[in-house]
């Protein structure tokens, strides 16, 4: 059973850092695109970063240079290192996965992803 479980969210001040984790059983060993999405209150869910089975990554313009996505296949875990956090990064962050053939891993659409975690809240105060 494919399962995604996020952790690592919390509250930080602007300029701080957080590292989110996504325990992704049965996903890291197959040809999946794994994405981090976020959703702020009253806003649509947006793609933040992706990583595919080859380790290729992509980022939203709003987080380039500040966020880094990585994976540890031995631990079946994905990470999102978030540095220089801004108040506008405040959102619920979700880990999602789907077969690489089904989605665009460079321009992820949340509607295309079939496997989701429960989300972890990130709050950045000014």
Q: What is the average pLDDT across 74-90?
A: 95
Q: Return the SS3 of 59.
A: strand
Q: What is the average pLDDT across 88-99?
A: 96
Question: In the structure encoding, which two tokens stand for residue 35, read together?
Answer: 């994405």
Which residues, in sequence order, are CB contacts of 18 under 8 Å at separation 6+? 8, 9, 10, 12, 82, 85, 122
pLDDT value at 37 more than 80: yes
Question: In the structure encoding, which two tokens stand for residue 91, read together?
Answer: 């959102």
Answer for the pair 35, 104: CB distance below 8 angstroms, yes or no.
no
Largest pairwise CA distance in the chain = 41
pLDDT value at 78 more than 80: yes
* Residue corresponding to tokens 């794994």: 34
Q: What is the average pLDDT across 77-98?
A: 97
Answer for the pair 49, 31: CB distance below 8 angstroms, yes or no.
no
Strand partners, 28: none
pLDDT value at 105 more than 80: yes
């Amino acid at each position: 059973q494919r399962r995604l479980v996020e952790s690592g969210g919390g509250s930080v001040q602007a300029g701080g850092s957080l590292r989110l984790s996504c325990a992704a059983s049965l996903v890291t060993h197959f040809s999946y695109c794994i994405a981090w999405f976020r959703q702020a209150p009253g806003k649509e869910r947006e793609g933040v970063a992706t990583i595919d089975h080859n380790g290729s990554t992509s980022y939203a313009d709003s987080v380039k240079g500040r966020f880094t996505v990585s994976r540890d296949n031995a631990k079946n875990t994905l990470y999102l290192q978030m540095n220089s956090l801004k108040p506008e990064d405040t959102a619920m962050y979700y880990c999602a996965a789907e077969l690489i053939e089904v989605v665009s891993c460079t321009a992820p659409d949340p509607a295309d992803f079939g496997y989701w975690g429960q989300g972890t809240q990130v709050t950045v105060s000014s």
